Amino acid sequence: MGKVYLVGAGPGDPELITVKGLRCIQEADVILYDRLVNKELLEHAKKGCDLIYCGKLPNYHFMKQETINSFLVKHAQKGKTVTRLKGGDPFVFGRGGEEAEALSKNRIAFEVIPGITSGIAAPAYAGIPVTHRNIASSYAIVTGHRKKGQEEELKWESLVNGIDTLAIYMGITNLPYICKQLIKHGKDKNTPVALVEWGSLEKQRTVTGTLDTIENIVRKEKIENPSMIIVGEVVRLRDELKWFEQLVEVEEPVKLTAVSGAL
């Protein structure tokens, strides 16, 4: 019987992979990877490793979750070392819990290798600290994607009254609804909002506005997925703390090969 590693690849910058996550890539016989995984990471797979694409687009799944689960089980039962490479963190809106359940039910050994989730990394690369001693002492990550036919799951009133900073995943399509609900349940319409597109990559773009204006700004600037929505007073710190855009302008990024070679 083989073993499966559920690995978080981080938000996009290949250098944000953990040392253990990189080792899982290097030692794998089979790698099942998602759409948002930086392809540079796959260059570290050993010769002969079987690379299987499991990408998902909004409203379109290249491979159903049940199929992914069965692939993990099938290859592990053949005695293979399997790395399931997922963008961000496996257990933060990554369906890693479902995959772990499938492995557990089939008595297959597995490990979870946490990754840096985009709800922290994207705002950090945009110069937005999700917490700040003088501004925000609470932080929540929520999904902005709603399944058709399901009752509303987000507790808007609790999010408005109990949380200082919101990091909203998969919310571009529902941005008008999200802003409307936050205002409806008591959030000031002038609350700052930022959207970070392709966070941590050279093509990262960030736009800011308020709950009242951000929808038009996003439409004008043609911001698309993948984007992280940040709501809260901490967004005001961006003008002072933005560092990544300036870094990209003056420096060539360090290549991961130099890092992995030192391990």
Structural tokens at position 170: 């998969």
The answer to whether the Cα torsion of 155, 156, 157, 159 is positive or negative is positive
What's the length of the chain?
Answer: 263
Q: What is the DSSP letter of 74?
A: H
Question: Is 50 considered catalytic here?
Answer: no
**Out of 13, 29, 34, 89, which one is annotated catalytic?**
34
CA atoms of 25 and 91, how far apart (whole Å): 18
Tell me the HSE value of 232 on the side-chain side, using a 13 A CA sphere.
Answer: 27
Which residues is 85 bridged to in the sheet? Answer: 7, 33
Question: Is 255 considered catalytic here?
Answer: no
CA-CA-CA-CA torsion for 71, 74, 78, 83, nearest 10 degrees? 30
Question: Is 13 considered catalytic here?
Answer: no
CA atoms of 158 and 125, how far apart (whole Å): 28
Count of H helices and E strands in the chain? 10, 12
Q: Cβ distance 186 to 160 under 8 Å?
A: yes
**Sequence-distant (≥ 6) Cβ neighbours of residue 17 within 8 angstroms:** 9, 10, 25, 41, 115, 256
Assess whether the previous peptide bond of 226 is cis (omega < 30° from 0): yes
**Out of 80, 86, 170, 228, which one is annotated catalytic?**
170
Q: Which residues are annotated as catalytic?
A: 34, 56, 170
